[in-house]
């Protein structure tokens, strides 16, 4: 083979390889075509299209005292329609645990609430607002939602406990505890070097009313 023929063959090989690589690049670019037009783009290996936000539940932390269900519903309803709302409360006292959850109808509204209210100052509390993904919403989150807690009258409860009728055994046990605490008090006073004569404690029961009376002589 002469030098000219060899040179012509090398040109044809280079030309064929360039056309093949161009067609491969064209096919690869066709993997992703933008909607607005323009050149095609290829997705990187392992890269996926961004997922659409479907979260409608919002977590709200550091809720201030006095900002409860009615206040929260009135405030956050300005962003959009609220489906459900719940504040975590103590089962015994009913006091707020200062965090809660709100479910909106639209995911876009929930996202706007997070962007707007996160780290915002409300009654000297900086709110912490986050989206809760659907797969992380607890199935029992909204249990007992319609059951509103009625505050207990602890003054009345303590008054009834203090004034209840006691048996003779309960009375003796009560007197024993009072005398034990009195002895400890006397020892602390003596250890402090204070000269003080503590009054004697006498416990008795009124037969007519069956109530306990304590006298200090």
Per-residue pLDDT of the chain (217 residues; tens, 9 = 90+): 566 666 676 767 666 555 545 455 544 444 444 555 555 555 555 556 667 778 899 999 999 998 999 999 999 999 999 999 999 988 877 888 999 999 999 999 999 999 999 999 998 899 999 999 999 999 989 987 776 667 678 789 889 988 888 899 988 898 899 899 999 999 999 899 988 887 877 654 444 444 445 454 4
Is the residue at 110 inside a domain?
A: yes
Task: Give the range of the structural domain holding residue 192, as residue numbers without chain letter.
Answer: 162-216
Do residues 104 and 170 share a domain? Answer: no
Q: Which residues of 8-39 are buried (b: 16+ CB within 10 A; e: fewer)?
A: eeeeeeeeeeeeeeeeeeeeeeeeeeeeeeee
Do residues 173 and 130 share a domain? Answer: no
Q: Phi, psi at residue 77, to the nearest 5°?
A: -70, -15
Is the residue at 97 inside a domain?
A: yes
Pick from 196, 162, 201: nearest CA to 179: 201
Are the beta carbons of 99 and 63 closer than 8 angstroms? yes
pTM confidence score: 0.50
**Domain closes at, from 119, 136, 153:** 136
Is the residue at 50 inside a domain?
A: no
**Quick one: how far is CA 46 from the chain centroid?**
34
Is the residue at 16 inside a domain?
A: no
Domain count, the chain: 2
Do residues 62 and 101 share a domain? Answer: yes
Strand order in the sheet with 128-132: 82-89, 96-104, 57-61, 128-132
Is the residue at 106 inside a domain?
A: yes
Is the residue at 194 inside a domain?
A: yes
Is the residue at 190 inside a domain?
A: yes
């Amino acid at each position: 083979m002469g030098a000219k023929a060899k040179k012509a063959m090398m040109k044809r090989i280079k030309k064929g390889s360039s056309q093949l690589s161009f067609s491969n690049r064209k096919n690869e670019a066709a993997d992703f075509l933008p909607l607005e037009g323009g050149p095609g783009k290829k997705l990187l290996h392992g890269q996926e299209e961004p997922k659409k936000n479907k979260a409608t539940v919002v977590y709200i932390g550091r809720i201030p005292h006095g900002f409860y269900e009615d206040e929260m519903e009135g405030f956050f309803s300005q962003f959009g329609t609220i489906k459900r709302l719940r504040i975590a409360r103590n089962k015994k006292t009913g006091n707020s645990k200062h965090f809660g959850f709100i479910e909106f109808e639209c995911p876009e509204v929930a996202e706007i609430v997070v962007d707007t209210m996160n780290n915002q100052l409300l009654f000297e509390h900086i709110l912490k607002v986050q989206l809760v993904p659907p797969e992380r919403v607890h199935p029992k989150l909204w249990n007992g939602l319609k059951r509103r807690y009625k505050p207990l009258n602890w003054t009345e409860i303590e008054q009834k406990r203090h004034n209840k009728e006691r048996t003779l055994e309960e009375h003796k046990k009560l007197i024993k505890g009072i005398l034990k605490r009195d002895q400890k008090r006397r020892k602390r006073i003596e250890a402090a070097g204070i000269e003080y004569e503590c009054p004697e404690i006498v416990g008795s029961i009124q037969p007519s009313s069956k109530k306990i009376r304590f006298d200090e002589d």
